[in-house]
Amino acid sequence: MASVASNAAPLRVLLVEDSESDAALLIRHLERGGYRIAVRRVESAEEMRTALDDAGWDIVISDYNLPAFDAPRALATLQASGKDIPFVVVSGNMGEEIAVAMMRDGAHDYLLKSDLARLGPAIQREVREAEERRRANEELQLAASVFHGTRECLAVTDGLRRIISVNKAFSEFTGWTLEDVIHLPPTFMERSETADGDMDDAWIVAETRGHWQGEVWYRVRSGELRPHWLSISAVQDPGKRVRHFICSSNDVSASKTAEQQIQYLAHYDVVTGLPNRVLFQERIEHALAAARRYNDVLAVMFLDLDRFKNINDTLGHPLGDRLLKAVAQRLATCTRTSDTVARLGGDEFVIVLTRTSVEGAAQAAEVFLRALEEPYQMDAHVLTVSASIGISIFPNDGDDVDTLVKHADTALYHAKDRGRNSFEFFTADLNRRAYELVRLESALRTAVERNEFQLEYQPRVDVVSGTITGAEALLRWYHPTMGCVMPDRFIWVAEDTGQIEAIGEWVLRETCRQNARWQAAGMPKFPIAVNVSAHQFRNRNFVATVQRALSAAGLDPHYLELELTEGIVMQDAETSIRTMRALHELHVPIAIDDFGTGHSCLSYLKRLPLTHLKVDRSFMDGCPDDESDSAIVKAVIGLAHTLRLRTIAEGVEHDAQLAFLREYGCDSYQGYHFSKPLPAAVFEAVVRDGQVPAEYAGSSAGIDAPAMPAGASAE
């Protein structure tokens, strides 16, 4: 624990304890941690109530068992006072069930007197969290002040659209008080139609999409109709159910025209009239969502005018702007209404083609280039321009907006390097990629028979004791001419060609065989984890395949652990649950890998027969310095323990991360902090001797991929 500065304010401790010696022991532990203590010891409910009334306390520490007073009654006394003060229970022999009951009733932590080394860190944490709660309460009070102090008309409804609160501005503008409108729908004073359609549709949009805004007409208490710009926002609970709607409105009768102009400028380019970067972002996200939903192909094109700067420099920016407008008009006439042409700035345009193909994108690019080549009559000047186009394809070249845009921009520069007036796909070197695909596919077909695959094992280490408690099997392909081929190069080929199941079965058999051999040689018995691909898991014979691998090796099912990603499980949740239950009946442990990075669904999580949750390395990278990553890791650990699951942290690389995991109760970890992945013989020696050879010792250099990932995720 970091010591507290000596000039800090004293820690105000209310101590429920009848033993002076035990009280002195607790105080000494705190003082050793650098605290200056202001303590008051009480032994009864009456003394405690008096103390709570007399002063403000930073923390309450209570012995569990006292002759006349105990921790449950002390906690009840604190709760009755209405004060938010951390409550920590200390006991010499408190059992786990009692401790859990105390935590459920409202205690913040519990400690055994034999483990008072945790006292300082626990108090520091609880005091900090109490301060955070105090600040959160202040923020709520501030929010209430803003709600009633703002000049916008605000109304809050429940999930059934019944008004439950309005602010002062609402009452002043409409003439209606809260008593007048309580439990009424806001539509009682809205005209049935808005500028955008039926008002009922607006509420449906707000409920399904989370937000709606538009112009409405309010009929105030005097009977007058006034135009308002209304925003309706849905507030969801953690289960994604709408609990409230927030309606915020402003009178726009005096600024309607100006507002329309502002909206236009916010979304459209003033030179060409095309969508600008903001509207382009909205449209491409919408198009990408539709492409995912319907398994369509989408093309993103970056188009740049060749040597446009020369025109601007020689003929001036006004004429250059006119040329840009003419280019925009030609591009717009060459696209469908479902496509988008936008100007991002300068002479850079971007085009989104929906429901297309690679061939269709190439044909469209040719059409654009030919259309732009035609001369432009600009006053006394006849101008000709050409363009270069870079193209990226969804889903081949990316699954998100940023990646597709970046890849299209990269392809644009390849097109310019080729001599301009041309187009280039991001996957420009298609011959090389096709050759590598054929080569890898052919080599993969014989890799199992030729014994070219090997498994390495990354130790899984107990966070507290530092002992090895298991390992994760990692696949390596040692090809006679290509050398060591890492999984991120060949796994996708194996999945595309259907060879992943044969390779996955080999990994299962080899893992079981190796673990059985180690156990027969007298090594400690622990599970070896294998990553399962989506193709494997979806095979109706997968459970039988696991059974065969275990039977052939004579391995107890408890010592083969299967790791599944959230994405695999949630692709078909009900089928996944049935398969996992069948594996559970075999007594095969199951872990969720990369937890929190996929499609987490807690309603399904509690139904899954799991034994472990794995904290993804992407969250561990920021621990303990990044507050968001740290909060996520703590939440995963807490959730796992609540569900009686064990936790494994991936990608642990330095002491601070390990200390963080130890503080918050993570069970085990793996990563370069302990060792790199080890060949079987080296792993066996490490388990026997307890020493990691220097060449495999902890290092943050390099990242390894798991034996059988659903993708090419790494450890």
- Average pLDDT of the residues in 217-242: 85
Q: Is the predicted pLDDT of residue 599 greater than 90, yes or no?
A: no
Q: Is the predicted pLDDT of residue 704 greater than 50, yes or no?
A: no
Query: Which amino acid belongs to residue 402?
Result: D
pTM exceeds cut of 0.75: no
Q: Is the predicted pLDDT of residue 295 greater than 80, yes or no?
A: yes
Q: Is the predicted pLDDT of residue 551 greater than 60, yes or no?
A: yes
* For the chain, percent of residues with pLDDT exceeding 90: 35
Model pLDDT, residue 492: 67
Helix (H, G, I), strand (E, B) or coil at 244: strand
> Which structure tokens are listed for 121?
């860190």
Model pLDDT, residue 135: 80
Angle (CA) 598-604-608 rounded to 5° is 100
Q: Which residue has the higher pLDDT, 331 or 71?
A: 331
Model pLDDT, residue 475: 93
Model pLDDT, residue 600: 60
Model pLDDT, residue 313: 73
What are the φ and ψ backbone dihedral angles of 70, each rounded to 5 degrees?
-140, 175
Would you state the torsion angle of the CA atoms of residues 342, 343, 349, 351, taken in this order, to the nearest 10 degrees?
A: -10
Model pLDDT, residue 5: 44
Inter-axis angle of helices 655-663 and 627-642, nearest 10: 40
- Average pLDDT of the residues in 72-92: 87
Model pLDDT, residue 554: 96
User: Cα(584)–Cα(501) distance, rounded to whole angstroms?
Assistant: 21
- Average pLDDT of the residues in 194-220: 80
pLDDT digits (tens, 9 = 90+) for 367-415: 999 999 898 888 888 888 899 999 999 998 889 999 899 889 888 877 8
Nearest CA to 27 out of 17, 16, 39, 19 is that of 39
Q: Which residue has the higher pLDDT, 367 or 690?
A: 367
Model pLDDT, residue 305: 92
Model pLDDT, residue 601: 61
Model pLDDT, residue 684: 93
Model pLDDT, residue 127: 81
Under a CB-based contact definition with an 8 Å cutoff, are residues 475 and 452 in contact? no
Going by pLDDT thresholds of 50, 70 and 90, the confidence category of residue 129 is confident
**Alpha-carbon torsion 697, 698, 701, 706, what sign?**
positive
Going by pLDDT thresholds of 50, 70 and 90, the confidence category of residue 353 is very high
- Average pLDDT of the residues in 161-182: 87
Most trustworthy range by pLDDT among 108-117, 149-158, 461-470: 461-470
Q: Is the predicted pLDDT of residue 687 greater than 70, yes or no?
A: yes
Q: Which residue has the higher pLDDT, 63 or 660?
A: 660
Going by pLDDT thresholds of 50, 70 and 90, the confidence category of residue 299 is very high
Q: Is the predicted pLDDT of residue 117 greater than 80, yes or no?
A: no
- Average pLDDT of the residues in 460-474: 94
Which uninterrupted H or E stretch holds 561? Answer: strand 560-565
Q: Which residue has the higher pLDDT, 644 or 91?
A: 644
Under a CB-based contact definition with an 8 Å cutoff, are residues 159 and 243 in contact? yes
User: Cα(41)–Cα(12) distance, rounded to whole angstroms?
Assistant: 11
pLDDT digits (tens, 9 = 90+) for 608-664: 899 999 998 889 988 999 999 999 999 999 999 998 999 999 999 999 999 999 999
Q: Is the predicted pLDDT of residue 224 greater than 60, yes or no?
A: yes
Q: Which residue has the higher pLDDT, 610 or 573?
A: 610
Model pLDDT, residue 630: 92
pLDDT digits (tens, 9 = 90+) for 323-342: 999 999 999 999 999 999 99
- Average pLDDT of the residues in 129-137: 78
User: Cα(185)–Cα(161) distance, rounded to whole angstroms?
Assistant: 6
Q: Is the predicted pLDDT of residue 263 greater than 60, yes or no?
A: yes
Query: β-strands 453-462, 468-479: how paired?
Result: antiparallel
Q: Which residue has the higher pLDDT, 456 or 420?
A: 456
Most trustworthy range by pLDDT among 46-50, 116-120, 349-353: 349-353
Model pLDDT, residue 598: 59
Model pLDDT, residue 701: 33
- Average pLDDT of the residues in 582-589: 94
- Average pLDDT of the residues in 19-24: 83
Nearest CA to 65 out of 94, 104, 45, 40 is that of 94
Q: Is the predicted pLDDT of residue 114 greater than 80, yes or no?
A: no
Going by pLDDT thresholds of 50, 70 and 90, the confidence category of residue 700 is very low
Residues making up the chain, counted from first to last = 715
Under a CB-based contact definition with an 8 Å cutoff, are residues 592 and 566 in contact? yes
Q: Is the predicted pLDDT of residue 1 greater than 70, yes or no?
A: no
Model pLDDT, residue 437: 58
Q: Is the predicted pLDDT of residue 711 greater than 60, yes or no?
A: no
Nearest CA to 405 out of 287, 315, 263 is that of 287
Model pLDDT, residue 497: 72
Nearest CA to 581 out of 533, 542, 631, 525 is that of 542
User: Cα(588)–Cα(592) distance, rounded to whole angstroms?
Assistant: 13
- Match 């009692």 to its residue by tokens: 98
How far CA 641 is from CA of 198, 470, 636, 645, in Å, comes to: 49, 19, 9, 5
Q: Which residue has the higher pLDDT, 291 or 434?
A: 291
Model pLDDT, residue 417: 64
User: Cα(475)–Cα(531) distance, rounded to whole angstroms?
Assistant: 10
User: Cα(565)–Cα(490) distance, rounded to whole angstroms?
Assistant: 19
Least confident of 42-51, 424-433, 562-571: 424-433
Q: Which residue has the higher pLDDT, 294 or 224?
A: 294
